[in-house]
Structure 1
Amino acid sequence: METVTIRPPNVPLRDTISSKFDIYAAYQRILKNEEISTPLAAILALTELIENSDAGTMFELVKALNDGAAELRGRTTNPISLNAGCELFIAFVTLSTHNSTTFSSLKQELVRQGQNYAAEALTYRKKIAELAVGFIKDGSVILTHSYSRVVMQTLLLAHERKRISVFVTEARPRGLGIKTAEALTAAGVPSTVILDSAVAYVMEKVDFVLVGSEAVVESGGLINAVGSSQIAIIARAANKPFYALAESCKFHRLFPLSQYDLPTHNSNILSFSRPSQSKLSMPVTTPAVEFPKPIKELTDNELLNGSHKITQEQISKNNPDVDYTRPDLISLVFSDVGSLTPEGVSQYLVGMFSGSE
């Protein structure tokens, strides 16, 4: 491989990406294929960036990849899965040994290997499904949350081989549990949609919980559709196993300590709106010796009109899309690299990003 050239810090780098290439447009185009997950779309977009890059050294190429990843993150409201794919591909470029004799052939090899990895990763769901089905007993009652392609493939495979019944949460605010229930019903799987608030009510009927993932983080915890964390807490209280399914391309070097450490959290989430001053505020000047006057009671018409009306859109904007499930609440993570404990995920990630995997 060509010797890596490091430029002095005072020498500006030239633009190493063709001005005609829009990595975000490439990413959105790739995502139109429903079989391709977010991290794989990010990897394929980065391979296209390499094809369109004018970089002449490894230093310039890595900078172009990091700039491209930053642009994708900046234009995506939930960059967690995307980050996992970008990190994985950039780590492969920088940590792996490459045997190309010229830098041009190196770039071609990186593109080819990125595309081959994405094609292979499309088979991971089947591999995970085969692994997870071995843990599903005949006659199992399963609780799942929201919609996950790998969970769907696992449930459909289990239905072919065993008798199963599935409770599916509604999964607000996006309501993707409805999509899961419709697909299961169409395939002949007995399924029932339950309210998110009915999880504790139904848990006694459940044998285990099975969820997908947006990312599995370095602590061994899980980032998934909001509501996953409270389901895991209820499952632990009821002594029911909580299983997560995740392709290894969703393993993410992130170490959140709480919900508020997630990249998706911002000041608008769960914020308090100020009541209307004209109808709900206390009088500004109240004699110290008198008790404040009671807040005016609003009529039904006043509650339903004007700024007092609360819409589902407002609720959705004020609430998170994903949450973090602690590793101590997770029984096992089924992945294409095996069935792992949360501690095993941590060890795998350390090895993967140190170049030893």
Structure 2
Amino acid sequence: MIFLQDVNDWKNEIIERGKTFVENVKSSRQKAVQVGERFITDGATILTHGYSRTVKTLLLKAAQKKKFKVIVTEGRPECLGYRYAEELSLHEIPVTIILDSAVGRIMERVDFVIVGAENVTENGGVINKLGTYPLALTAVAAHKPVYGIVESFKFARLYPLRQDDLPPSQDETVNFSSVPPNKNTATKDLVKFFNPLFDFTPPSYIQLLFTDLGVLTPSAVSDELIKLCPN
């Protein structure tokens, strides 16, 4: 009976910790949104990439008081840009969907780029959906600011120096047999698809990070990590 009681106590503790974590996630997201909201101005044209709940929350919150336009990339291979656009349009936010490869063509119409992040690395770089890096390259070349919005629990003690330093994902390769056969493709066994889910955007391409800790420059992330994880 004592053993069963211990198991129940552990179970309840795990459940409570899970609830606390979920509450902290929601709280962190709302704080980051409050920080980023003031950077959205009336009449702005905003370009975003990747289906980020935090970016979406920011845009919906800002739309309650301001009028602006959003450009959303298609987001292949998952094509989440369509879902993103639909959800924003339901809140009467004007949205344009573009091909991922059209960012250079559209960039001169954009005021700034904002993306979410799967992780922010120790040097302030951003790991995010595939296509974020070339988007940031294009924005910087066009002298457009690139902002990230992210909760501090996504800060990670990772220090990639190049794209291949990222851990591989299970979806990086697609078997050729999953593609409809083409009678003109005689060498199909030699053809492979490279389809990673994420890429790494170096900190030099990110102007500011909107976080629950406030507005941070990428270089400030390392200091915040030391505070969050002193050991």
Q: Please state which structure has a larger fraction of its residues in strand.
A: 2
State the aligned residue count: 220
Secondary structure at 1:154 match in 2: helix
AA of the residue aligned to 1:326: P
2: CA distance, partners of 1:332 / 1:193:
25
1: CA distance, partners of 2:221 / 2:188:
48
The aligned counterpart of 1:336 is 212
The aligned counterpart of 1:176 is 80
1:306 is displaced (CA, Å) by: 8.8
1:120 is displaced (CA, Å) by: 2.5
1: CA distance, partners of 2:19 / 2:158:
25
> Any gaps of 5 or more consecutive residues in structure 1?
1-17, 22-47, 53-106, 274-300
User: Cα deviations across residues 300-351 of structure 1 (Å, max 9, x unaligned)?
Assistant: x73168948x8xxx64xx2111000000000111111111100111110122
Does structure 1 retain, via aligned residues, the 8 Å contact 2:172–2:197? no
Q: Highest Rg: 1 or 2?
A: 1
The aligned counterpart of 2:110 is 206
The aligned counterpart of 1:126 is 30
AA of the residue aligned to 2:198: V
1: CA distance, partners of 2:140 / 2:78:
25
2: CA distance, partners of 1:240 / 1:350:
31
State the identity as a percent. Answer: 41
2: CA distance, partners of 1:270 / 1:122:
34
Change (3 A) 1:117 1:307: closer
TM-score, normalised relative to structure 2: 0.85
| Structure 1 segments of 4+ aligned residues over 4 angstroms from their partners | 110-114, 268-271
Secondary structure at 2:64 match in 1: helix
1:221 is displaced (CA, Å) by: 0.3
* Higher relative contact order, chain-length normalized (CA < 8 Å, sep 6+): 2
The aligned counterpart of 1:3 is none
Q: Report the aligned-residue RMSD.
A: 2.9
1:172 is displaced (CA, Å) by: 0.7
1:270 is displaced (CA, Å) by: 7.3
> Any gaps of 5 or more consecutive residues in structure 2?
177-181
The aligned counterpart of 1:247 is 151
1:124 is displaced (CA, Å) by: 2.0
The aligned counterpart of 1:298 is none
Secondary structure at 2:63 match in 1: helix
Secondary structure at 1:303 match in 2: coil
Change (3 A) 1:235 1:306: closer
Secondary structure at 2:167 match in 1: coil
The aligned counterpart of 1:26 is none
AA of the residue aligned to 1:51: W
Secondary structure at 2:92 match in 1: coil
The aligned counterpart of 1:352 is 228
The aligned counterpart of 2:179 is none
